[in-house]
Chains A and B, each alone.
Chain A
């Protein structure tokens, strides 16, 4: 029974006033390695049917991995029973009718079915290059696909499919140096494993044994993964309801300058480097939204309910992020611009300290380097930072060429590297 037929079984049997049926198929395979050898190799196939039933404003959600008609009917009965027993949700919005979705090409059959031998060969190449350079490498190679089908009682029927491939490699040298690189695409053929491996290996052997310097405010060159991780603290917090209820750092800030004029940040499902999902979580058509334009906060994120209450258009979440502002220079060009500073490959375990001030903390990881007179001169032991985008976005000196980046969380975005002055490192660690 195909997805449309399965959804029809639920829609025809429903007693609820509204019903939404999501069928989520997810195939994923991950080959993981450490110390130049495969230590984990897994595959998983899941298919989940979720049903949201509503009687008036009373709502219940049930899901099941039993995709037989009987399993789906059982889940429908659970959803309806929960909805009948629940209290009203004043923010519930009835499901939308048929939509006109943007055409997005994000699926590649080869990537979705890549065999374990292909991933193992990529690891074998990385292990050989690492061993030749005298470094240890660890990482993972992930491939798979996700297929989402949505049907509802308002007549909407839609599907989207996406494949994914991610190769990540961390390296460490005998003298204590470390490196990291990562590639992501919806096509495995876009990943140049050798280039990624050589980049991580090169970092581990650059600058010799790490030396320790005192933390403090410093000029930094943040590679795209590092800058992107920090930008997540903006994209996660642009909730209009929280701002309107004065529980957010963004309260009263729409229309204010929050960054250097060269910085813009938008959601764009049609960007060819990062093809997005054509539909939002509630089934609406995804669209371009400009959140920050020329350094000014332009837009907060509105759910359908909050948008209706405030008399504006819903936006969907702040995702599929493209950050503009660079002048085309690559990491090395930015380094040449710095007289005395630090090159940060990426951050690790970043977290909010105070959400009202957007203050955040985290550690450097994957290679930290001293820059002197426009050149990398030595590897450094790692730092902890404490800083806020509300401060450092106004201290951006220059941004470089945008690249597709997979951040710590993981969020994919198109993000440049950036030079930031007076970035606050507050303590160091032992490696």
Chain B
């Protein structure tokens, strides 16, 4: 296979590319879905192809193909150069890449059990056993289970001399129970973290141990009262925070967005370069750390899709906005001499773009537990898990729901609520954090379906956090509208 990659690289250069890189990637995935006592989907995918990226006349071109004949690979490389020349028709600033030392090395996700070596019967059997246990609760009328297992074997060659290989394995299993009655249906989910790990991440005992609780909470959710609109304190668990971090910090600090390059689809960012080291993004307790070397992190791939090694750096430090995720093309725009290594593609046929790294809210420095935070909260709402989400294209105004909600009164969780949403502005929200649980309670959540780009690309990254408290947030505007309308 390396001969084919080399042929593509040589073809691009012989056609006049000033720079070229080649990724040859083989993906294998299995996705298993169960609904009640049936297997609703079961698929096994193999996908192999090559992508060639070239700079010619100062502009980018990219082409990808699954035709891995020598002729097909040569045609693909020639196409990439021809497209670059067409790009140059519209006069623009020539593409300039910050340096990256050429490297020769290999990266492999540390894993114990190859997920594709585990029998299908075992995977299907686990999901069906989970559903059976959820349905044992008479209030539960629908159970869903889902498992995704992925492996990506990647080869990267560049005209600067990089010769890299990686094998990344990702695994995850989740489930949900839905209670139905009185003209309503409410769910409760269990979402262990997706990680770059082998099948050992599919923890059978843990998955089964939570079924009874999840089923009971689905039924309680159905009977819970509606959330009343108010301004109140929020206590948010790490799984919930993974999405809040993703939308309001991760996307906002992608440098291509901040420079306007994503304007036509995903949008821009309020966090423009002039605000670097000038914007109080969060309270003094808030540090967001990017780390593409994080063990088992979803964006821990050894190197990104332009050959830049995984790194760790701060995005927000003690509340101050200090950094971006970058590619080699945009890093120089904020004076960086090296890219942070955040340029990834979702497929051999996609061009690498700036993607959110593994990005985590660092734990509190003072010993503090989630229970202590709740005990210290007079009135508020505790939210677990992820639900509805929406944010404006500059990443300012957001509205989030969740998976389960409890009213806090006088330091105690007193009852579940339903239809809780909260709305805030990004920097108002993160500046209102006044408590973060310590590292004993830090948990890695993650996103497997982050959409960005045109054509749309789907990427994955980890967001770790410990439980936090946010003061004085507007809650329930959505439910308030529905009440007025009905």
Whether A associates with B in a native complex is: yes
Chain A residues with CB under 8 Å of chain B are: 28-48, 59-67, 75, 78-79, 81-82, 85-91, 115-117, 119-121, 123-124, 127, 136, 138-140, 142, 168-170, 172, 245-248, 251, 348-354, 356-357, 359, 361-363, 365, 382, 384, 386-388, 391, 424, 426-431
Name the contact of B120 in the complex, choosing from A33, A82, A136, A424 (C-beta under 8 A): A82
Cβ of B385 < 8 Å from any Cβ of A?
no
Contact with A along B262-302 (1 / 0, CB 8 A): 11110100100000000000000000000000000000000
With A90-B38, A348-B393, A430-B396 in contact, do A359 and B482 touch (Cβ < 8 Å)? yes
A354 touches B61 (CB 8 A): no
With A40-B351, A356-B184 in contact, do A349 and B392 touch (Cβ < 8 Å)? yes
A386 to B65, CA, bound (A): 43
A87 touches B39 (CB 8 A): yes
Name the contact of B263 in the complex, choosing from A31, A121, A172, A357 (C-beta under 8 A): A172
Distance (whole angstroms) from the CB of B67 to the closest CB of chain A: 7
Distance (whole angstroms) from the CB of B476 to the closest CB of chain A: 10
With A38-B92, A391-B485 in contact, do A350 and B44 touch (Cβ < 8 Å)? no
Distance (whole angstroms) from the CB of A121 to the closest CB of chain B: 7
Cβ of B349 < 8 Å from any Cβ of A?
yes
Q: Which residue on B lies nearest to A61, using beta carbons?
A: B43
B43 touches A354 (CB 8 A): no
Residues of A within 8 Å of B484, CB to CB, are 424
Cβ of B48 < 8 Å from any Cβ of A?
yes
Name the contact of B178 in the complex, choosing from A36, A60, A87, A247 (C-beta under 8 A): A247
A59 touches B42 (CB 8 A): yes
23 A-B contacts, Cβ less than 8 Å apart?
A: A29-B83, A34-B261, A36-B90, A40-B351, A41-B86, A41-B87, A43-B79, A44-B350, A62-B45, A63-B47, A65-B46, A82-B44, A88-B38, A88-B39, A117-B86, A138-B260, A140-B264, A247-B180, A351-B388, A362-B390, A429-B392, A430-B394, A431-B392
With A28-B455, A429-B394 in contact, do A62 and B39 touch (Cβ < 8 Å)? no
Cβ of B93 < 8 Å from any Cβ of A?
yes
A246 touches B87 (CB 8 A): no
Residues of A within 8 Å of B388, CB to CB, are 351-354, 361
With A363-B392, A426-B477, A426-B478 in contact, do A34 and B260 touch (Cβ < 8 Å)? yes
Name the contact of A431 in the complex, choosing from B76, B91, B128, B394 (C-beta under 8 A): B394
Which 4 pairs from chain A and chain B are nearest by CB?
Answer: A37-B92, A116-B86, A138-B263, A85-B120
Contact with A along B328-352 (1 / 0, CB 8 A): 0000000000000000000001110
Residues of B within 8 Å of A140, CB to CB, are 264-265, 454
Q: Which residue on A lies nearest to B82, using beta carbons?
A: A116
The winner among A124, A138, A142, A353 for most chain B CB atoms within 10 A is A353
A60 touches B42 (CB 8 A): yes
Within 8 A of A (CB), among B170-208: 178, 180, 183-185
Beyond the given A46-B66, A63-B47, A119-B86, please list 20 additional residue pairs across the A-B interface where CB-CB is below 8 A: A32-B454, A43-B79, A44-B64, A46-B349, A59-B39, A62-B44, A63-B43, A90-B37, A91-B40, A138-B264, A140-B265, A170-B264, A247-B142, A348-B267, A350-B390, A361-B421, A362-B390, A384-B399, A386-B399, A424-B484
A75 to B454, CA, bound (A): 30
Distance (whole angstroms) from the CB of B408 to the closest CB of chain A: 22
Cβ of B63 < 8 Å from any Cβ of A?
yes
B121 touches A85 (CB 8 A): yes
Distance (whole angstroms) from the CB of B54 to the closest CB of chain A: 10
Q: Which residue on A lies nearest to B454, using beta carbons?
A: A140
Residues of A within 8 Å of B480, CB to CB, are 426
A168 touches B264 (CB 8 A): yes
Cβ of B389 < 8 Å from any Cβ of A?
yes
With A115-B86, A117-B89, A429-B392 in contact, do A359 and B481 touch (Cβ < 8 Å)? yes
A136 touches B260 (CB 8 A): yes
A123 touches B90 (CB 8 A): yes
Residues of A within 8 Å of B62, CB to CB, are 40-43
Interface majority SS on B: helix, strand, loop or mixed? mixed
Distance (whole angstroms) from the CB of A213 to the closest CB of chain B: 15
Contact with A along B58-83 (1 / 0, CB 8 A): 01111111110000000010010011
Cβ of B162 < 8 Å from any Cβ of A?
no
B42 touches A38 (CB 8 A): no
A356 touches B185 (CB 8 A): yes
Cβ of B49 < 8 Å from any Cβ of A?
yes
Contact with A along B114-126 (1 / 0, CB 8 A): 0000011100110
Residues of A within 8 Å of B478, CB to CB, are 353-354, 359, 361, 386, 426
Distance (whole angstroms) from the CB of B301 to the closest CB of chain A: 21
The winner among B44, B62, B121, B421 for most chain A CB atoms within 10 A is B44
With A41-B61, A120-B86 in contact, do A363 and B390 touch (Cβ < 8 Å)? yes
With A89-B39, A116-B82, A120-B90 in contact, do A365 and B393 touch (Cβ < 8 Å)? yes
A87 to B128, CA, bound (A): 9
A351 to B392, CA, bound (A): 12
Q: Which residue on A lies nearest to B43, using beta carbons?
A: A61
Residues of A within 8 Å of B364, CB to CB, are none
A428 to B394, CA, bound (A): 13
Residues of B within 8 Å of A424, CB to CB, are 481, 484-485
Residues of A within 8 Å of B37, CB to CB, are 90
B38 touches A89 (CB 8 A): yes
Distance (whole angstroms) from the CB of B474 to the closest CB of chain A: 8
Name the contact of B67 in the complex, choosing from A45, A121, A348 (C-beta under 8 A): A45
A36 to B263, CA, bound (A): 11
Distance (whole angstroms) from the CB of B73 to the closest CB of chain A: 12
A45 to B391, CA, bound (A): 33
Cβ of B109 < 8 Å from any Cβ of A?
no
A116 touches B83 (CB 8 A): yes
A66 touches B38 (CB 8 A): no
A39 to B184, CA, bound (A): 48
A429 to B391, CA, bound (A): 10
Distance (whole angstroms) from the CB of B385 to the closest CB of chain A: 15
Cβ of B397 < 8 Å from any Cβ of A?
yes
Residues of B within 8 Å of A428, CB to CB, are 397
A44 to B61, CA, bound (A): 11
A117 to B59, CA, bound (A): 13
Residues of A within 8 Å of B119, CB to CB, are 85
B42 touches A34 (CB 8 A): no
A121 touches B89 (CB 8 A): yes
Residues of A within 8 Å of B401, CB to CB, are 353
With A352-B388, A382-B392 in contact, do A41 and B60 touch (Cβ < 8 Å)? yes
Name the contact of A61 in the complex, choosing from B42, B92, B125 (C-beta under 8 A): B42
Residues of A within 8 Å of B49, CB to CB, are 46, 65
A121 to B87, CA, bound (A): 9
Contact with A along B445-486 (1 / 0, CB 8 A): 000000000110000000000000000001001111110111
A140 to B93, CA, bound (A): 19
Cβ of B419 < 8 Å from any Cβ of A?
yes
Q: Which residue on B lies nearest to A382, using beta carbons?
A: B392
A46 to B51, CA, bound (A): 11
A357 to B67, CA, bound (A): 48
Residues of B within 8 Å of A362, CB to CB, are 390
Residues of A within 8 Å of B66, CB to CB, are 45-48, 65-67
A63 touches B45 (CB 8 A): yes
Name the contact of B485 in the complex, choosing from A251, A351, A387 (C-beta under 8 A): A387
Residues of B within 8 Å of A60, CB to CB, are 42-44
